[in-house]
Structure 1
Amino acid sequence: MTVRNLVSVIVPAYNASSFIEETLRSVLTQTHNSLELICINDGSTDSTLSLLRKMEAQDDRITVIDKVNSGVCDTRNLGIIKANGEFIIFLDADDVWESRMLETCVAVFNSQTNVNAIYTKGQLINENTEKLDRYIEAEQINGVEDILEWKKNHVATPSCTIMRTAVIEQSGIWDTNLSTAADQDFFLRIAQHFPIHAINEVLFYYRVHGNNMHQNIALMEKDHLYVFKKADKNGLFKSKSFRRQCFAGLYLILAGSWWKDGKNKFRGLKMLVKAVFVYPPIVFKLMKKLVG
């Protein structure tokens, strides 16, 4: 049975000792005090677990779970099992919140009962928590097309996305086959059933540092292709033309990622050719980017 207005904050942590204390403090200082903080140590080999235990002893809202390493998706799923809140959110162990993050979102849920999932605008910070002039925009996601077409902010980031716990009962838990594209798959399934409401106010900070998972381009390619093929199998593409357009958009993004990474520019060129072959009109999109 869920507790009304209680927010379950799930924090998976793997070798997160550099940032975990700052992350948890941003939760414990929330103006919305009705929360439980479920911190799951995913087999860390640094001091993450001892830091979590220390903070657990200082605040009874914290529950620490220690387990063998099984990946972020399996860890989040364990958090779902342990959660008691009416609302649930998955906070990465290196991101931080503004103090009004939960209060602002819960107020929307309580005033607009038709809203089931919310995400907010974010700003990037560096390893020293210095704000960068880069933002993660938030615009309402009205269906799977917005995500499959890579429109707007095509994927709501877990650290800024809160939902009614009942949403997960309908959309399903995290896919443990994924890592870098797990967010896209998870929110794609939510968008099948519910619009994702946007709050265009910076309420969370996404940390950019050398260990960020998304810098592994080969894994990014593998995971995103898995998500799109899964979506295709589930009939989420409304037409063959739309399917070609979406896959071409994905290939174009992968081409840019490989090229920017610099380690395998040939792979980037191959993805670019594939994008044009699958959906020739994408050339106009590419030209617009080049001249714009």
Structure 2
Amino acid sequence: MHLVSIIIPCYNYGWLLAETLESVLAQSYPHWECLLIDDGSTDNSRTVAEEYQSRDARFQYHYQVNKGMSAARNYGIARAQGKYIQFLDADDLLAPQKLEIHAAFLEAHPNVDLVYGDVRCFRHGEPAKLSCSFDMLDTPWMPRVSGQGEVLINALIKKNIMAVNAALVRIELIQRVGLVAEDLRSVEDWEYWVRCAMAGAYFQYDENPNAWALVRVHPSSTSHNMLKMHEHEVKVRKKLNETLMAIGANEALEVNKIAIVKSTERVAMNDLLQGNSLAGIKRFLKLAYETGMYTYYLKSIPYGFKQRLKTLGKVS
């Protein structure tokens, strides 16, 4: 059995960390190390992590000055000894057989660089009630794509295809692709999967329900900050345009351009709704200039102001 390195970045999630570490201890696959990277927490994260480290030598606690989740993951990657890497956020869980099933799959399929399974979401305090989607409406969203090259790139350019804890990754792929982008404080996992796909990685979807990734839904979840996600998505997609053009991925390039416009629209409208009027107007004017859709985007500005007034009226 090859060693699996589980990398858990943690910033002020001491109140949830024990539950996450219990899901690691519950793994049927015993050959793992768990690197707990404390990203400058000011709560009890250190106390919780060190307690588990004292109970089981497979846990390793590391502290760094706050640099963000991506930097914490990279800190863990640099110290990982495993053949396979399992990313896990400090508020999420793994199904008990997740590591066993995916490690065995990679052993049996040397051509596969990354295997990933399905995702189920649960509300904090209700772990038995699972949903396919983060909004808890049980709407399937994962495209379940397997392969490499154009089919994988096209799928990822449309949207992220997995949660970060869904994948088990060969360390050789990470060594080939490089580290996680530390300038991103959101969508960094999606950007990383895109880079992997562009590097020729082979992704395999595994439908086994015993290998699910479990994602907790709670008010402080990073995924709740949709505005930040859209802002970072635009940033990533603009960089991707040149790369997609260089490799001749024309279908993906067109999808990417449309996605940039749609995400910028959401950010601009949010600016107006939140009272950031100048920022919203500037974004809509830029969209009008870049797309030539002057009438549509110029009308969007007064529409945004009207919606804000309606919201303020309901509040008052």
Establish whether residue 111 from structure 1 lines up as the match of residue 121 from structure 2.
no
Which amino acid counterpart does residue 238 of structure 2 have in structure 1? K
Show the counterpart of 2:222.
Answer: 213
Tell me the CA shift for residue 246 of structure 1: 2.0
Show the counterpart of 1:287.
Answer: none
Establish whether residue 7 from structure 1 lines up as the match of residue 4 from structure 2.
yes
Tell me the CA shift for residue 184 of structure 1: 1.4
Compute the TM-score of the two structures, normalised by the length of structure 1.
0.83
Establish whether residue 191 from structure 1 lines up as the match of residue 197 from structure 2.
yes
Asked whether the equivalents of residues 178 and 223 of structure 1 are also in contact (C-alpha less than 8 Å), the reply is yes
Aligned length: 275
For the structure 1 residues 274 and 201, does the alpha-carbon distance in structure 2 shift closer, same or farther, using more than 3 Å as the test? farther
User: Structure 1: 5+ residue runs without aligned partners?
Assistant: 281-292
The CA distance in 2 between the partners of 1:87 and 1:126, in whole Å, is 29
The CA distance in 2 between the partners of 1:20 and 1:145, in whole Å, is 36
Compute the TM-score of the two structures, normalised by the length of structure 2.
0.77
Equivalences for 1:36-115 in 2 at 5 Å?
A: 36-115=33-112
Helix, strand or coil: the match of 1:18? Answer: helix
The CA distance in 1 between the partners of 2:162 and 2:81, in whole Å, is 23
User: Structure 2: 5+ residue runs without aligned partners?
Assistant: 134-140, 294-316
Tell me the CA shift for residue 219 of structure 1: 2.2
Helix, strand or coil: the match of 1:88? Answer: strand
The CA distance in 2 between the partners of 1:51 and 1:23, in whole Å, is 11
* Higher helix content, 1 or 2: 2
The CA distance in 2 between the partners of 1:43 and 1:231, in whole Å, is 31
Show the counterpart of 1:139.
Answer: 144
Superimposed CA distance per residue, residues 182-229 of structure 1 (whole angstroms, 9 cap, x where no aligned partner): 011111011122121111234121111111223333322321112112
Identity of matched residues, %: 24
Establish whether residue 201 from structure 1 lines up as the match of residue 198 from structure 2.
no
Helix, strand or coil: the match of 1:19? Answer: helix
Report the structure number with the largest CA radius of gyration. Answer: 2
* Higher strand content, 1 or 2: 1
Helix, strand or coil: the match of 1:235? Answer: helix
Asked whether the equivalents of residues 259 and 265 of structure 1 are also in contact (C-alpha less than 8 Å), the reply is no
The CA distance in 1 between the partners of 2:15 and 2:38, in whole Å, is 14
Equivalences for 1:202-241 in 2 at 5 Å?
A: 202=209, 203-235=212-244, 238=248
Moved more, 221-230 or 31-40: 221-230
Which amino acid counterpart does residue 140 of structure 1 have in structure 2? V
Establish whether residue 172 from structure 1 lines up as the match of residue 146 from structure 2.
no
